[in-house]
Amino acid sequence: MTVKDVAKELEISLANVYALCRTGQIPHVRVGANGAGIRILRADLDAFLSSRRVGLAVKEKAARSSRKPSGPSVFKVLDTEQLRETWTAQGVIPRQPCGDSARSPIVLKHLDGEKLLAAWAAEDALDPQARENKATKSPRGERQG
């Protein structure tokens, strides 16, 4: 079959057929003196169509829906204290958001034990931008100066 025949049968563009051939999804044969012509065997086209079939048989759907989970899910309850301890051990501490930013952790690998705990207690001290924003805003949230 020619590329044009396949495109017509599948109701897709010639470019799509060429792309499927180029990526090896549809096996084909190169013909002509310079190998510019493409021919697709009926068996190869049928195999391609079979491989692209979508949907499950009724038996397979029933078998999948009757399965029960094999074990408990990983997360039942988020233990914030354990999470904080883990983050602390890894050198990650939370910081206050700046302006419109969301709350996010900041990694401070260079801090050790006591310094990390002191830094955690003084989150604003870790974020010069937050200090600057607080210093330049009036109590109503407007910038001064």
Tell if the pTM clears 0.85, that is, is over it: no
**pLDDT, tens digit, 9 for 90 and up, residues 60-83:** 666 666 666 666 556 566 777 777
Structure tokens at 75: 């997360």
pLDDT at 58 over 90: no
Using CA atoms, how far apart are residues 80 and 127, in angstroms rounded to an integer? 23
Q: 58 lies in a domain? A: no
pLDDT at 93 over 90: no
- Picking from 14, 32, 51, the residue at the C-terminal end of a domain is 51
Residue 9 has φ and ψ, to the nearest 5°, of -65, -40
Asked whether the beta carbons of 97 and 104 are under 8 A apart, the reply is yes
Using CA atoms, how far apart are residues 45 and 143, in angstroms rounded to an integer? 69
Q: 121 lies in a domain? A: yes
Asked whether the beta carbons of 21 and 3 are under 8 A apart, the reply is yes
Q: 70 lies in a domain? A: no
Q: Residue 22's pLDDT is what?
A: 92
Q: 113 lies in a domain? A: yes
Q: Report the range out of 15-29, 44-58, 81-95, 116-130 with the highest average pLDDT.
A: 15-29
Q: 43 lies in a domain? A: yes
Containing domain of residue 43, as a range? 3-51
Asked whether the beta carbons of 134 and 124 are under 8 A apart, the reply is yes
* Residues contacting residue 20 through CB under 8 Å, at least 6 positions apart: 26, 48
Q: Residue 7's pLDDT is what?
A: 95
Q: 66 lies in a domain? A: no
Q: Residue 27's pLDDT is what?
A: 94
**pLDDT, tens digit, 9 for 90 and up, residues 2-19:** 999 999 999 999 999 999
